[in-house]
Every structure is written in structure tokens, then in C-alpha cells.
Chains A and B, each alone.
Chain A
Amino acid sequence: MDIVGGFLSVLQPGHLLLMITGVFIGLVFGTIPGLSGVTAVALLVPFSYALGAEASIIMMIGVYVAATCAGSLAAVLFNMPGDVMGAATARDGYPLTQLGQADRAIALAIMSSAIGGIIGAALLVGVAPQFLRIALQFGPPEYFAMAMLGMACVASLGTGSLVKALIAAVFGLMLATVGLDPVSGALRFTFDIQQLQGGIDFIPAIIGFFAVSEILMGIYKGTAAGTYTKEDIRKVRRFPMPSLADLKATRLTLFRSSIIGNFVGMLPGAGATIAAFLGYGTTRQLSRDTSKFGHGDVRGVAGPESANNSAAAGSMVPLLTLGIPGGATTAILLGVLILNGLRPGPLLFRDSPEVTSSVFASMPVASLLVFVIGLLTVRMLLRLLTIPFKVFSTVILVFAVVGTFAIYNRPVDLWIMLFCGVIGFFAKRFDFPIAAIVLGLVLGSIAETGLVNGIGVSRGDWGVFFSRPFTLGTFAAAAVLLLAPLIWSAVGRLRGGETEKTRTSA
């Protein structure tokens, strides 16, 4: 692969300008709750007819990378993640905003994104060609195992009650069953509403769960919106690099999450979504001192953010080599490649080397641009927090409606959004983790088709889920993730009061 040629192509003035435009669009769409990177990419598709393959892919990757980061900025600022991955970042990012440290959280999130993106892209160049062989071993049983690994992250999402987290996850799985059954073609839970046959798509659902419910919550008991003043913002530097102390506290997390994220992201299917939750889950479950998680721990921001962005780079591998998208945005990127006459597959590297090397070179360049442009806009972003809630909520509701409708143009999605908003409000009110509902919804259909097709390819043998090396390994990883806190507490009990002391001092 001609990576130098790729960089030369990306750094051409025309292409660089397109990428900066893309990064800017991605940041704007990603940060505004209700809109999302998917909306941005979907709206840009028609332009790619005019731009040609290479230019449009470079621009789209700019949007994709920026929106991946910006989805979490919305999570940090307003507790309204722009995408599923942002939900993991919200858990510790938003408490920091409530503590008046929004600039610290945002700067760290942007920094983690960039580091994750760059480590991910570097790994990509080295590992991608070898990875294809492993990826072909990845069949339905492996998808099921992956989904279960993702579900295991639910354990780290509960704010105290594991039972409530499980109830929320199962509710999410139930939402995933609505619509035309992918396996038998039967209608499930459609209540004779024809439009519901399409099922509950996760984009209207997350806009409802994250944005609408937060507005309802704001009416109920207030949010961080409107609580910042101009003086608060004036104190923030124009280019607010994260503090050395924060970097020191998160350096191990950043490194580990970037590597985990990259590999999980490379796995075909829902890699990118699972990666962010694994980034959060591993960070929390492997830490000895977990007392601050959920209340504004910087590691809880750095972990999912770096994993998330590193996975975005990793998800280019199944996309380009197998034509399997890892999420809604990459599914549209796949469409862009196809409509430009490129057939993603093992031969893409040979037949269109300029496109693949541009894709790989675009990832780190886009990450750098996100870093620079992102940090430059921190003060602008914080200004959003000075908008009074009554104005803010009205505008966001408009964006939520527009963003929901713009993706599939289906009126029913608006009702789904409202429904999820109301459910989300009550979930928040009674401390059910919304992230677990969304995780269930996203992973539900992957788990279901993985399970049924897995039994299909093994001709009815359930043993397939434990006899294949990858599935076994994945189940083992899920077990470790679930059991790690128990092990830590056992270790703590053996050491007696030592852990108690760190807890109280923290």
C-alpha cells in the first residue's frame, strides 16, 4: 500500500479543503443534539455523484471522524450523546460539566479522540492486511459472541443497581424485536401499524432517549444548560490543552483503550459501538479505585473516547476488505464507495490502491484536524451552555425533529422519537441507565441473527458457540469483564482496610 502517495493525495489543497469542510460539518452536526454524523453523511451522499470517489471519500471521512468525536461533545456538554458511542462518554463527561469543569472534560475528550484516532490509524496500516484472514473466520456465531461481550458492558453502566441495568438492557432487547422478524419474516409487536414493520431504528431512538428525555428532565429538575456565565468562559484559554495531571492520570487508559478499540472496531458488525462501551467497561472494571466513576472521573472520559475513535479507524478494515459496515455511518460510506463504482472487497486494495491509501491516510489527518479545530472551538461550544434552558430546549427539539426525519423520511420515526423520549425521562427519573437500553436495542438484532444463523450454519448444533476459538475467547473476555469487580473486591477484602483508606481519601 502506497501510504506516502495517500498522504500526498489527502494533502492536496483541494482535498485538504474538502476534508476541513467535512470536519467542520461533522463537528457541527455531531455536537448539535438531534442531528448526528449519520444525518450529515446521508445528506452529503448526493454531492458524491459530482465529487468523484476519492474526493468524496476524503470528505466523508472528515465528517465521520469529526462526528465520532463531536457526538461525545454533545454528551459531555448536554448529556445528549449524538450517537450510541457517546453514551459511554456521557457517564463521566456530563458530571464534569455539572461540576463547572466543562472545558476540562471537552479538552480531554477531544485530545482522547485525536490520540485514539491516530493510534488506531497507525495500527490500521500495520495490521489491516493480515487481519483479512481472521475476519473471514468471523461467522454468525462470532457475531453473537461479540454482541454478548457488548452486553456484558451493561454491568459497568449501572449507577448502583445491577438489577436496574439488566432490566434496562432487556427492555432494549425487546425494542429490537419490533418489526419484521429477520429470521422467519413474521410481524412482531407491530400492533397492526404498517409503518412499524420497519422496526425501531436506533437513530430516532437515541435522539428520543438522549435529547428529548434530557429536555423533559430539564423541565423537571433543571440541567447544565444555561448555568454557565460569560465570566466562566472568559476564564478558559483560547486553545485549552488538557492539563498534564489529567494526561498523566489517563495515559494508561488512553493507550489500552486505543488498542482495544482498534481491534474490536476491526471486527465486522457492531465493532465501533461495542468498542466505546468496552473502552468504558475495561477502564472501570480494571481500575482499583472506582468510587469516582459516574461522578466525573477523567478516565471515564478518556477510556471510551479513545476506544471509540480508534474503532472508527479500525472499522475501515471490514468496510474496505469485506464490504461490511460497522455502523450506520459506515453503511452510508459503503454506499458512497459503491455508487462511485468501487466494489469493497479483497480486491479493492489491488484495483483501486489510490482510494484505499487515501482512506488510510485520511484517518490520521482528520484526527489531527479534529484536534486543532476542536480545541479552537471549545470556547464557542461552552457558549452554548450560556443559552437559557427555555431557548435551548426549544431549538434542540426542532433539531431533534428535523434530524430524526431527515434520515429515513419516515413519519413514524417521529412518534418513535417521542415515545423513547418519554420512556427515557422515566428511566432517568427512576435511575435506569438509558445507555443500557440503547445498547440492548443496537445489539439485539445482531445477537438475534447471530444466534439463529449460527445454529443455521452448524446445522442445528448449539455447540458451535463454544467450539470455535474466537467465540470461546470472546465469551471468556465477557466473563472476565463481569467478574473483574468481584475479584477486585475479593483482593481488597484480603488486604483489609487498605482499600477502604484509598476510597475515603478519594
Chain B
Amino acid sequence: MRVRARPHLLTIATIALFALIVAACGEDDGVEEAATNGDWPSQEEVVADIDEVIAQFEDGEYDYDDGADTDEVIEALQEVIPQPDDGFPERSIEWIVPWGEGGGSDNYARHIGHDAERIFGESIVYNNMPGASGEVGLGHLFTQAADGYTIYGAIANQTINDALGIQPYSFVDDSSFVIRNQGATEIYWVAEDSQFETFEEMLDFAVDNPGEVILSGSGIGSDDEFRMLSLEQDLGTEFGFVPFDGVGERTSALLGGDVDVLHETAGTIYDLYEDGQIRPLAYGGDIVFEDIDPDIPSVADLGYDVPIGRWRGVTTLADVDQERIDYMHNVFYAAAQLPFYTEYEVEFFQHVAGGYLNSEEFEAEAQREREQVENLIEELDYDTGAVEEELEGE
């Protein structure tokens, strides 16, 4: 029996060898994808490996020095993150930050980019290109080559603008989604001496007195406005919405009594809360931030829809090679676990919301958000001049 088994083994070995040779030759024959996909790990697998390295790092196994070109933890991470065969990236990566220097998107890019650069082994060039709530930068991205060397720091406004349909492109359809790192941390705040004690008291008052409660947030067509519109729709009432571009203007309008309720991120005005000048009525999304006040409800807890939140993430052009997207996802995921970034998140109170999504989840979520905002626009007959124009055109 033993003797007769050998030819079988030999046959299997021969077939296996042949298959390998075919696979190897295949690279030249355009069947590369089938071959490499076999051993190219999924984002989930690499994330598990990265988590392991990070756990070891947190146990003190590796050195970390964010001032150095590289260090032990970066080398360990480079080991577990597979690099595309073509050696990407071979030159610096341009990150389009479609908002000004020192703003939220700029801080996010430069903090996550700090350790990502070290893992890439190539630098990231930040290109601040503000205008039209991110669309000027996005328009520029779409004129660049789809090679992964130009990436874009997106926020929730892009899905809303896509739903509004005023751009010559579609953000959701024309982008590859790399990674989402930050979730929404907005809270509905009132001034300390406000007449409203609870969120529902405020809503009741708004239902009885349509248009009397003035809400503020960050601009027309923002996630702030659509969260408010969704509440209006659920309640069948109206708020006054008075947007301000700068967080300084918004908070002084709240403290000065010009607006009644402010929908604002926790991190930017936490000091005022600590000082007792403002208090939270409800968390804007579906998470209760225990660190701030565990007794305050979230809007989702109260049974209202939350169509969108202010997330931040990285996208690029639609045709970028999947291996490059996976690689960038893995690198940014790893960078987001390292102290340079995590300390920044804590400082800005961003850590409370989580918000990490991998490429696939990020894309699905963006599609869901766009659909929900589109429904809102349709049901509310939301009237930007541009939307009307488009309807007339049809």
C-alpha cells in the first residue's frame, strides 16, 4: 500500500508544482488578481494583527518615540502590514485637507498622518484647500490621477452635498472609501440659565410654539442642520436655524442669549461646561458619553431618527487599486492606535464616540446616510436654490 501511495503523492506534488508555475507565469498573463488575492489578507485580518502588536506595545514590549524616523513599534507594525507588491508608496502622498489650517479636519489629518508617515516610510504632504464646505478640495481630487498618491480628508458634509446634487460629480459614487476614524460627538447645549431643563421640555415648547426655539450649528447644508430637520419632521414643528461659521460665534450667540440651543461637538466647548456656563440637554447621536454626564439621554434613546453625524475619514478616487486602499486603511488604522493620535483624540474629546469603520463599512454607511438625507430633502421639500434649479431642469 505504501508503495502504491507514492505515485499519488507524486501526482499531487506535480500538480501543485504545475499550479504554482502557472500562477507565477500568470502574473504576466493578466490573471494577477486571482493569484494575489489568494494571499492578500483582508482588512479584518490585518487589523487583528495590528491589535496584537498594539496590545504588546501597551504591555511595554516596544519603544515609541514620535520624534524619531522610526522606532520598535513602527517596525513591528510594518512587519504585520503587508505592502502592495508594486512597492506603493514610492513617493510622498498628498493629503487634501479641504478646510483651513488649525481647524478640526486639519488637526485630524496632521495627527493621524504623523505616525502614518513613519509606517509608510514616505512623507505626507498636507494641502489645505478650503472652500464651499469641502467641495473645492474634492473637485480638485477628482482631477488627480487615481493612483492612491492623492487622498482626501472627508467629513459628513460631502454626503449631504452629494444628496443635494449640486456638484458635477457624486462624492459617494466616485470615491473609494479608505477608512473612517472619527464619529460624531455633538451635543445639544443650552446656557446655564436657560428655561429648558430637559431635551423633551425643549421639544414640547417647540411643538407648542413653532419657530420660537432658535437652534444654532455650523452652516447651511451641514450635519447640524439635517439633524435638526429630522427632528422637525418627527415632531411636525419648526425650529429657527441660525448658522455661524465659527465655533466662537456660535458659543457667544448661545451665551449672549441670541440662540436658545447649540448643536456643537463636545471637545470644542467642554471648558464652558466645566465652568458651569452651559449644560447638555441631550447627546446628538445614539451614544451616551459617560465621561460627560451619564444621566443625559441621547436623541436616539428618546426615539428620534439621527440621519447623519459629523464623522471624519479618508477617501480617494474610485479607480485606485484595491491593494493600495487596503494598505492605506491598515496604515491609518495602526496610526490611530498610537499615542500621538490617541492623546489628541482624548484632548479634543473625540475618543468618546469611536467611529472607526473599515473601507467596506464606511462606503455602506455613506450610502445609507446619503439615502436618508435624500429622503429628508424630498419629504421636507428642502429649498436650496440649487435643488429647485435642478428640479426645474428635469
Contacts and interface: CB of A to CB of B under 8 A. Distances in A.
A182 B220 contact: yes
A457 B249 CA distance: 13
A497 interface: no
Contacts of A337: 102
Contacts of A188: 385
A140 B166 contact: no
Contact of A139 (B100, B243, B253, B271): B253
B101 A194 contact: no
Interface of A: 42, 45-46, 49, 135-140, 179-188, 192, 194-195, 197-199, 201, 268, 318, 322-325, 331-332, 334-339, 341, 343-347, 351, 408-412, 449, 453, 456-457, 459
Contact of A325 (B130, B246, B268, B347): B246
Interface residues of B, number: 59
B198 interface: no
B240 A268 contact: no
A449 B242 CA distance: 10
B251 A323 contact: yes
Chain B's interface: helix, strand, loop or mixed, by majority?
Answer: mixed
Contacts, number: 160
B274 interface: yes
Contacts of B241: 456
B272 A345 contact: yes
B36 interface: no
Given A323-B248, A346-B277, A457 B166 contact: no
Given A135-B252, A324-B252, A345-B251, 15 more contacts: A42-B101, A45-B101, A182-B245, A194-B136, A198-B132, A322-B248, A322-B252, A323-B247, A324-B249, A325-B246, A332-B101, A341-B347, A343-B269, A346-B271, A408-B129
Contacts of A459: 211-212, 214, 240
Given A185-B220, A324-B249, A140 B275 contact: no
B100 A136 contact: no
A323 B103 CA distance: 12
Interface in B314-351: 347
Contact of B164 (A185, A194, A268): A185
Interface in B336-394: 347, 383-386
Contacts of B103: 335, 338
B28 to A, nearest CB: 40
B253 A409 contact: no
B107 interface: yes
Nearest to A351: B271
A408 B131 contact: yes
Nearest to A188: B385
Given A268-B248, A322-B252, A198 B136 contact: yes
A268 B249 contact: yes
B84 interface: no
16 contacts: A138-B252, A181-B385, A182-B245, A187-B385, A201-B131, A268-B249, A322-B251, A332-B100, A337-B102, A338-B107, A339-B107, A347-B272, A409-B128, A410-B136, A456-B242, A459-B211
B214 A335 contact: no
A195 B135 CA distance: 8
A268 B252 contact: yes
Given A409-B129, A457-B253, A347 B274 contact: yes
A195 B139 contact: yes
